[in-house]
Structure 1
């Protein structure tokens, strides 16, 4: 297959794959840029000598300093956890678009408070700003994937949700490099460490401006009974008239799904909660979605994102600038491989294979790095500023781990969670998935400094073991969701065996599609005959 080859669930007009659907996804993904940047810049900013001098880090004991850094980083994840839950409320009552307005404003307020912290006021404003920024990114992380998945044609749904992940990596790339650039071009000062905090406002501002242009999710509008507006938005996004066969088919799928949910679950704020209590199927998908983020964080990615200088120091990288440079290269590798994942892998190789291959390769790399640290103990040879050949090999395996992780576990759990719930439980399911992501993220970020102090090489063995367990989880429990319409996800997750579910459901859809088109052809033929008779009579 070529890079842009499409695996379609049914014959699709070329107009459906138009610039509007990509533009809406790209605008919403400015939220991911602010998330990625905020996750990446904080680790190296805390290691800036100017920041350390401002808040007296150099006079603190190792344990106390580890606690302060863990608090600055982890309260952001705590805020994000609650932001993801709050987003269920806002997205249900106010829609996807207005929710993005709300959370971008909250993030901007938080970023402004962070910039007010200094040695005289202490870290109070920093903590408050980190919490508010966390609320903003947590809410956005819940809303954006479901917004994109709800407007996406099935054949490019993974690619479009992948734009969200790409935005995350672009933001992270800037975050990883910004402090290296500042240390190379500016003398230590308050302005030096204030700049990376101020840059947070750029993607948040672009999101705030861009949201005014994008359209509300047609599926959300259908669920609220705003049918005329939903039809206009869907027609605008697809660049097709409402009476086109493809549009008629998609609308019929949406109507059928909403009708079925109305009969079985009902519409309303509390109905999804009731459905969770009554439906083992919904409970099962909530469990699967949450566990995907447990395994994602269990790979070690957020320990690296938030504490990259500490990670590279454990391998034997010495010096602030050298650590920042190595971290920056890590960001470049992640971003480049995200393009490969987005354009080639996610909608061609599929979700299951990516997750299993990524975990297997990543685990192998973590075992090697841990063994290197266990045998050579780089921390005991801190005076030696040159890496040995084994140290160079460890750095190579670290980047190889990045090559396995990025096009697999980095964004794929977000894609699966955005597409595997039905309309009535999609917001609740995504809120649960996002909250799970930030909960496990919080645990990793809160205890990583202590883990490196106490476990040393054991940290890498810990992450390697979790990656092996994730392969077993995916093989037995996660069906392939590639190319399956959102309205068929209930059937997909009921099909057994799991490894064959995708093929079985797509075959069923092809049969139903052929029957629908034959019926639609008869209706259109009759309509043409009526119009011809009217012309003759006239």
Structure 2
């Protein structure tokens, strides 16, 4: 297959350089509005952390039904990721995000006014469909709008907004829990806050453009040119449109849409890479900390209200790590970032397990040491893994099946997340913090082997060049040559 017209030998893009101006500000505005989907994703997954204990007391939940309430959102998110990808390939990225904003609002209201377990779980399922859809569609939308030079930083903003949403949930939980904790139904107030960003996402997306790459795939070239003209300089817009059109024409001949793409062996291989990095990201146990952080800290020796406040620390370090990660996306290769991330999280797991054995339950230092290690784990995760994984998923799939490929990968990610969400309370109850974190450490070793042998490099390459290299298998050879 021939090289793209704006790609020099060796795969180095030679598009006209990025320039400043109103188009850069417009691109930033579009990214800000779209990432409200990530903010909602973070808040709706994080709010359960502080809401669960008062909710359980009011509704009489046990360990299993707590797991059902938490994981119902997660299993629904797996379905939402698949549906979101398929719908956005047909309807467009922008229209799908508008539908997701409505689902975020409806789900939040159902939870707030739930009279019992049944309606509560139904509301969590609606929220899950929205969260899963957003986790697929928003990163794809951002990656398709972004210039390749800053694609990692722009697409990575969504993950940063996710952790900001989780931190917001922890802070809101701590404030409401410690000021209104004596009132019945305080957990309903915690969930009600999520309605505000849902409204902001809907109103904001009404004024946002469609993905130019999706428009090209639909044959709507003039509309794509108009959108690119608002977020690029005129010269860059024209050159990029030409490249996207040529790639889309080749893609149409080479790629079947949807499940038909599974007939292509190269697509199956890159899909397995997407599934692998998504599942291993979840098997670090990061979201178990985000959902059950208060439970882990109480188990470590903190009182309930102290745990609610202490739980803010992992949320703060997650945001700091996310800010650092956006810089790393521009300076460090994706594979190297993942290798460092899985190494650090595995070490943290081993240390948490070791100190939970070494320090008896009544030791005054035990809760503080475990809190420090949990904060180190979350910091390592957010700095080196979370943003890198979501950016990589948004980059590796061909245009015509990008949302579908990401949808399948994120479906598997959410299933792994949901299984952990469902069984984490039972796991801690059965084998304690020690056994739980040693298990995570073992999975971390497997993740390192997977990244080392299977994950390709995508930094500094246009989406069109990535697509060409995926179809020829060249992308799997780049890192092997670089390591020799």
Identify whether the pair has TM-score above 0.5, normalized to the shorter chain.
yes
Query: 1:498-524: per-residue Cα shift (whole Å, max 9, x none)?
Result: 4246899xxxxxxxxxxxxxxxxxxxx
| Equivalent residue number for residue 207 of structure 1 | 201
CA contact (8 A) 1:476 1:498 kept: no
Which residue in 2 is equivalent to 1:345? 328
Give yes or no for the alignment of 1:325 onto 2:329: no
Question: TM (normalized to structure 1)?
Answer: 0.83
Q: Superposed, which structure 2 residues align to 1:216-255 within 5 Å?
A: 216-238=210-232, 240-241=233-234, 244=235, 246-255=236-245
Deviation at 1:338, TM superposition (A): 0.7
What aligned pairs does 1:339-378 form with structure 2 within 5 A after superposition?
Answer: 339-342=323-326, 344-378=327-361
Q: Quick check: 1:418 aligned with 2:378?
A: no
Aligned length: 467
Spell out structure 1 runs of 4+ moving beyond 3 A: 8-11, 390-394, 490-493, 500-504
Match of 1:303 in 2: 288
* Counterpart Cα distance in 2 of 1:417 and 1:451: 30
Q: Deviations over 1:32-57 (max 9, x none)?
A: 10110111110211123xx3442134
Q: Secondary structure at the match of 2:370?
A: helix
Deviations 1:162-185 (A, max 9, x none): 110111011101111212111322
Matching residue of 1:476: 453
In structure 2, C-alpha distance between the alignment counterparts of 1:275 and 1:182, rounded to whole Å: 49
Q: Does 1:178 align with 2:155?
A: no
The answer for the alignment partner of 1:24 in structure 2 is: 30
Deviation string 1:422-464 (CA, Å, 9 cap, x unpaired) is 1111121111122122111111101101110111111000111
Instruction: List gaps (5 residues or longer) in structure 2.
Output: 1-11
Task: Quote the residue 1:151 is aligned against.
Answer: 145
Alignment match of 2:276 (pick from 265, 278, 291): 291
- Could you say which residue in structure 2 is the equivalent of 1:76? 73
Q: Is the 8 A contact 1:475 1:499 kept in 2?
A: no
Report the CA distance shift for 1:208/1:459 in structure 2 as closer, same or farther (over 3 A): same
CA 13–410 in structure 1, closer or farther in 2 if over 3 Å, else same: closer
Q: What displacement does 1:480 show?
A: 1.6
Q: Gaps (5+ residues) in structure 1?
A: 1-7, 58-64, 505-538
Q: CA deviation at 1:85?
A: 1.5
Q: Is the 8 A contact 1:420 1:489 kept in 2?
A: yes
Matched, 1:12 2:17: yes
Distance in 2 (CA, whole Å) between partners of 1:502 and 1:181 is 50
Deviations along 1:250-284, one digit per CA (max 9) or x if unpaired, are 12211211111222236xxxx3422222x111001
Between the aligned partners of 1:485 and 1:187, the Cα distance in structure 2 is: 51
Please list, as runs of the form range in 1=range in 2, the aligned pairs for 1:389-428 lying within 5 A after superposition. 391-428=367-404
1:280 alignment counterpart: 265
Q: Contact (CA 8 Å) 2:143, 2:394: kept in 1 or not? A: yes
Q: Determine the structure 2 residue equivalent to 1:54.
A: 58
Deviation at 1:377, TM superposition (A): 4.3
Match of 1:12, SS? coil
Query: In structure 2, how many angstroms separate the alpha carbons of the residues matched to 1:274 and 1:502?
Result: 33
In the alignment, the residues of structure 2 paired with residue 289 and residue 250 of structure 1 have an alpha-carbon distance, to the nearest angstrom, of 26
Alpha-carbon offset, residue 12 of structure 1: 0.7
Per-residue CA deviations over 1:458-496 (Å, capped at 9, x if unaligned) read 100011111122111111111221111000113444225
Partner of 2:46: 40
Q: Could you say what the CA RMSD is over the residues aligned between the two structures, in angstroms? A: 1.9
Matched-pair contact (CA < 8 Å) for 2:56–2:66: no
Deviations 1:103-157 (A, max 9, x none): 111221111111112xxx3211101100011111111111101100001000100
State yes or no: 1:257 paired with 2:247.
yes
Do the aligned residues in 2 keep the contact of 1:177 with 1:328 (CA within 8 Å)?
Answer: yes
Post-superposition offset of 1:317: 3.0
| Paired position in structure 2 for 1:387 | 364
**Secondary structure of the corresponding residue to residue 20 of structure 2:** helix
Rounded Cα–Cα distance in structure 2 between residues aligned with 1:185 and 1:26:
32
Within 1, Cα distance between the matches of 2:98 and 2:427?
38
TM-score, reference length from structure 2: 0.92
CA distance in 2, matches of 1:485, 1:285: 17
